Amino acid sequence: MINLYSTQIASLSIHRVGNKSRNESMLLSETPFKMDDELRTLLKEFFLKPFRDKEENYFQFSHEADLEFHELFTAVTKIFESPENTHEVSKQITKYLFDQSQHPHIKSGEVYIAFLENLQIDGEKVDGVGIFKSELKQDFLQFSEKENQLEALLQQGVNLNKLDKGALIFNTKKEEGYKILSVDSNRYDTKYWLENFLGVDAFEDDNFYTKKYLKFCQDFAKDVVLPAEDKKEEVLFMNRAVNHFAKNDTFEESSFVNEVIDNPDLIPEFNHYKVEKAPKYSIEDLTSFPIANTAVTAARKKIKNTINLDTNIQIKMDFINPESAERFVEKGWDEEKQMYYYLVYFNKEQKS
């Protein structure tokens, strides 16, 4: 979990990068940017709000040989070791970003590199480095008054309500490549930001494992449980799976299988599915791990709990009380109509 409300921008450098393939230039500011209190508050919200609103999927710097050869990892480490050198190192980072800006789709823009203090992650206060980029400009009117006449001038600028790209690098887990969060509102060039510039892989922590295992379960429900049984059982399987994660602190696969899979015939199918599909989810050897509650909450929101029927009727199942579906919903076959049916028991209709 992160908490960014007490975070402060200790220093900020602003540069500009163009697109190399279009022979656009780069501008490196001579000195750090000076902010008054009002602008500091606005920029903090501009930089950090996208991370507060986003699911926490962490990354880490990665290099095929060794992290010491990762240019951005080395630059960020210099800042953490000597924050007073942030501005000079920010020029190196901007040059590196400029070198990656060679695809015709990549837009020019301003680069903001900040040394941040008082970031809270996993209950620990740490420093951080923020690297942000604004690309898209919006039109706005600037007004001036001359004698008794109001003049309007059309100008372009950055919308402080929308950050185009950003990365927060937390000064923790250095040996693994630091913990990093990334946002990118422009999906057409994600490879440029995440792979070419940041050079990161997913950070394999409790949150990663919980999220990946639940996604694996969701696909098993869709690919195996649904064809073998029906939509109701698919929903109930995921119901039990999510609730198992929610009520336990540690995941144990044998306990999970025995509690969640109602039909014993599906247990060998589950084991076979894991052998076949595990590499896709990076859970090949994963049988035990601490459960991250934030990942469970996020997964619960994404899982569909509705049965859509071809008669334009929907049955919504309750994930908080899965026993309701098992006790009060029955599926059958009507010989006369030659149709399936769901029989739903209730005492009274609830007011909406």
pLDDT digits (tens, 9 = 90+) for 166-213: 999 999 999 999 999 999 987 767 688 999 999 999 898 888 999 999
Tell me the average pLDDT across 338-349: 85
For residues 29-41, average pLDDT: 95
The pLDDT value given to residue 170 = 97
What confidence category does residue 261 fall into, taking pLDDT thresholds of 50, 70 and 90? very high
Query: What DSSP assignment string belongs to 137-156?
Result: -EEEEEEEEETTEEEEEEEE
Could you give the C-alpha distances from 322 to 132, 258, 318, 340, in angstroms and in order?
Answer: 44, 17, 6, 22
Give 320's pLDDT tier (boundaries 50, 70, 90). low
User: Which pLDDT belongs to residue 302?
Assistant: 76
Q: 140-167: per-residue pLDDT in tens?
A: 899 988 888 999 999 889 999 999 999 9
- The arithmetic mean of pLDDT across residues 261-276, rounded, is 92
Taking 70 as the threshold, does the pLDDT of residue 319 lie above it? no
pLDDT score at 14: 97
- Mean pLDDT over residues 5-14, rounded? 96
Q: Which amino acid does the sequence have at 4? A: L
The two three-digit tokens of residue 130, written as one number: 């923020």
184: helix, coil or strand?
A: strand
Range with the largest mean pLDDT of 13-22, 77-86, 147-156, 289-298 = 77-86
State residue 323's pLDDT score.
Answer: 65
Measured torsion, CA atoms of residues 111, 117, 122, 124, in degrees rounded to the nearest 10 = 160
Rounded distance between C-alpha atoms, residue 322 and residue 9, angstroms: 47
Confidence (pLDDT) at 221: 93
Q: State pLDDT tens for residues 291-318.
A: 988 888 888 877 777 788 888 888 877 6
Q: d(Cα 72, Cα 194) in Å, to the nearest integer?
A: 12
C-alpha 218, offset from chain centre: 18
Compute the distance between CA of residue 113 and CA of residue 233 in angstroms, rounded to an integer: 51
Return the percentage of the chain with pLDDT > 70, whole number: 96
Percentage of the chain lying above the pLDDT 90 cut: 58
pLDDT band with cut points at 50, 70 and 90 for residue 80: very high
* The pLDDT of residue 83: 97
Give the pLDDT band (50/70/90) at residue 352.
Answer: low
pLDDT per residue over 100-111, tens digit each? 988 888 899 999
- pTM value is 0.77
